[in-house]
Amino acid sequence: MSDFPRFPAGFVFGAATASYQIEGAAAEDGRGPSIWDTYSHTPGRTANGDTGDVACDHYHRYPEDVALLRELGVDSYRFSIAWPRIVPDGSGTVNAKGLDFYDRLVDELLAAGIEPAATLYHWDLPQALEDRGGWRVRETAERFAEYTAVAAERLGDRVPRWITLNEPWCSAFLGYSVGRHAPGAREGRGALAAAHHLLVGHGLAVRELRAAGVREVGITLNLDRNLPASGSDADRAAVLRADTQHNLVWTEPLLAGRYPASEEETWGELITGQDFRRDGDLELIGQPLDFLGINYYRPIVVADAPYREADPARRVATDNRYAEVRLEGVRHTAMNWPVVPETFTDLLVDLKERYGDALPPVHITENGSAEADEVGADGAVHDAERVAYLRDHLTALRAAMDAGVDVRGYYVWSLLDNFEWALGYDKRFGIVRVDYATQRRTPKDSYRWYRAMIAAQRG
Ligand code: FCB
C-alpha cells in the first residue's frame, strides 16, 4: 500500500453530492419546482428523458448513505441544499419541512463524526424565479441572499463550511448560452448578465454567512486548464477567450477586484454595451474568502473558431467563441474526457502564480470520473480505471502542494452514482454503485481504495 500519496496531518478527505442529483422526493414535503424539474420534464432535453423525480431516493435513504460515508472514513461530506425545498416559490414563505430535512441530515452526519460542508446553490433555481427572469435579473441575487440567511440561521451552528455557488460557469453559460443545462436558453447577453448576477448573489450571500457567524465561507469554481491545439497565433488567442469565459470572468472579480482585461476581445459589444454592472459590485464580489473551492476533471484543447461569422446575438456561446478539439494519445473516460492528471498540477500552480497571496486556501470540492462500470459475476464492480484516475489525480494534487499551493482538502465526486444532468443516469461517477430499480447501494473497488488511502494517512 506504499503507493498511496501522502498528505499533511489535518488534510480533509471528503465525498460530494448535490441535491437534485440524488435526493428524489421532488414533490414531497412542500418542495417547489426548480428549473431542473422543468428542464428534465421537457421532451428531448435529457438522455432517455431521465429526471430527478426519484434519483437515488436519498431524501428517504440518507441514514444508509451517511452510514456509507462513516464506513468510508471521510472527514467531511459536501452536499447541497435545494433552494426550492426551503423557499418553494423563490421568495416569501419558508418551508419548515424542507429545513427539517437538512437538519436531520446534518445531525446524522455529526453523530457519525463527519463534518458537513453545505453548498447553497448547485443549480436548482426555483422555477418561480426563472419565470421572473432567472439569473438574467438582479432580483434573483437578492432572493438568493434571503434564502442564504434562512439556511444559515437554521444550520450555521452545526455546518462549519459553506459554499455559496457551485460552478457558476455552468449556470451562466451552459444554462443561458449553450442551452445544454436548465433553463436551456441560447442567448449572448443573457449569459453575461447571468454571470454577473451570480457573482452579485455570491457577494450578498457572503455577507449573510458572515452575519450568521459561520466558520468558513467559500465559492466553488470549475476552473479549466485550456491548452492550445497548435502554436498558431489564432489558437493562442482562442485560448485567451476560453480562459476569459471559463476562468477569468470569475477569478478576476473574486480575487483581484477587477473585471478581466480580455473581456472586450472575448465578448465584443456584448460586454461593452452592458448595463448590469453597478458601482460597488466589485467590492461586494471581492470580499475576502476563507477558501476557494475548485472542481477539476480534465483539460480542454482549444482551437480558433469562426466566431466572427456567427450570429452576433449568440456569439458568446462556447461553440462559437472557440472550438474544443479532441486530445489524441490519452485515455478518455465515459464522458469522453481526456485523462491528463499533470494538468491538474499545472492549473493549481498557475493560479498561485497569478494571484499569489490573494489566493485563499484551496479545497478541491470535486474530482472523479465516469466509467463504463460493469457488475461482475461476483456482484462487485471492479472499477480499476476509476481507482487509477483517483490515485493519479491525488498524486498530481500532492505535486501542486509541494510546489507551494495551499490545498486543505479533497472531495471525491461522487459518493453515489446519480443523475448526471442532461446525460441522465447513463453516466456513473459514484464510488458506490446505485441500482436504480432497487435503490441498492454497492460499494465499488474505488470506494475500498479511497477508504484504504484515507486510513493509510492516519495509521
Ligand atoms: C460538475 C458538477 C457535478 C457533476 C460533475 C460530474 O460539473 O458540479 O454536479 O455533474 O460535474
Candidates 130, 146, 167, 371; catalytic one: 167
Percentage of residues of the chain with pLDDT beyond 90: 91
The verdict on the CB of residue 37 being under 6 Å from ligand 1 is no
Candidates 130, 366, 371, 420; catalytic one: 366
User: 129-140: per-residue pLDDT in tens?
Assistant: 999 999 999 999
Q: How far is the CA of 419 from the centre of ligand 1 (A)?
A: 10
User: 266-309: per-residue pLDDT in tens?
Assistant: 988 889 889 999 999 999 999 999 999 999 999 999 988 765 44
Residue 59: count of CB within 10 angstroms of its CB: 21
Rounded to whole angstroms, how far apart are CA atoms 17 and 119?
10
The verdict on the CB of residue 429 being under 6 Å from ligand 1 is yes
CB distance 176 to 194 below 8 Å: yes
Q: Which atom of ligand 1 is nearest to the CA of 370?
A: 6
Q: Which one of 413, 416, 419, 427 would you pick to mutate in the ligand 1 pocket, going by the greatest count of ligand atoms within 8 A of its CB? A: 413
The verdict on the CB of residue 413 being under 6 Å from ligand 1 is yes
Q: How far is the CA of 259 from the centre of ligand 1 (A)?
A: 26
- Please check the confidence at residue 408 and state whether its pLDDT lies above 80: yes
- Please check the confidence at residue 145 and state whether its pLDDT lies above 60: yes
Strand 440-443 vs strand 432-435: parallel, antiparallel, or unpaired? antiparallel
Report the range of poorest mean pLDDT among 204-218, 241-255, 296-310, 367-381.
Answer: 296-310
Where exactly are the structural domains of the chain? 12-458
Residue whose entry in the numeric block shows the C-alpha cell 479533497: 410
Q: Which one of 20, 295, 415 would you pick to mutate in the ligand 1 pocket, going by the greatest count of ligand atoms within 8 A of its CB? A: 295
The verdict on the CB of residue 295 being under 6 Å from ligand 1 is yes
The verdict on the CB of residue 166 being under 6 Å from ligand 1 is yes
Q: Which one of 36, 165, 363, 420 would you pick to mutate in the ligand 1 pocket, going by the greatest count of ligand atoms within 8 A of its CB? A: 420
Q: Which atom of ligand 1 is nearest to the CA of 427?
A: 6
Q: Check if 263 is active-site.
A: no
**Secondary structure (3-state) at 425:** helix
pLDDT at 270: 86
pLDDT at 320: 56
Q: How far is the CA of 308 from the centre of ligand 1 (A)?
A: 31
Average pLDDT over residues 255-264: 97
pLDDT at 318: 47
User: 56-97: per-residue pLDDT in tens?
Assistant: 999 999 999 999 999 999 999 999 999 999 999 999 999 999
Q: Check if 153 is active-site.
A: no
Average pLDDT over residues 198-222: 99
CB distance 429 to 383 below 8 Å: no
Q: Which atom of ligand 1 is nearest to the CA of 166?
A: 8
- Please check the confidence at residue 2 and state whether its pLDDT lies above 70: no
Percentage of residues of the chain with pLDDT beyond 70: 96
Average pLDDT over residues 191-195: 96
Q: How far is the CA of 319 from the centre of ligand 1 (A)?
A: 20
pLDDT at 166: 99
Say which CATH topology domain 12-458 has: TIM Barrel (3.20.20)
- Please check the confidence at residue 11 and state whether its pLDDT lies above 70: yes
CB distance 271 to 263 below 8 Å: yes
The verdict on the CB of residue 366 being under 6 Å from ligand 1 is yes
Question: Which helix or strand (DSSP H or E) is residue 228 part of?
Answer: strand 225-228
Q: How far is the CA of 411 from the centre of ligand 1 (A)?
A: 12
- Partners of 227 in beta bridges: 301
Output the CA angle 364-224-323, nearest 5 degrees: 155
- Please check the confidence at residue 313 and state whether its pLDDT lies above 80: no
The rounded mean pLDDT for the chain is 95
Burial per residue of 25-42, b for 16 or more beta-carbon CB atoms within 10 angstroms, e otherwise: bbeeeebbbbbbbbbbee
- Partners of 323 in beta bridges: 303
Average pLDDT over residues 307-321: 50
User: 215-250: per-residue pLDDT in tens?
Assistant: 999 999 999 999 999 999 999 999 999 999 999 999
CA-closest residue to ligand 1 atom 10 = 420
pLDDT at 308: 45
Q: How far is the CA of 297 from the centre of ligand 1 (A)?
A: 9
Q: How far is the CA of 234 from the centre of ligand 1 (A)?
A: 30
Q: How far is the CA of 149 from the centre of ligand 1 (A)?
A: 25
Amino acid at 26: A
- Please check the confidence at residue 1 and state whether its pLDDT lies above 50: no
The verdict on the CB of residue 410 being under 6 Å from ligand 1 is no
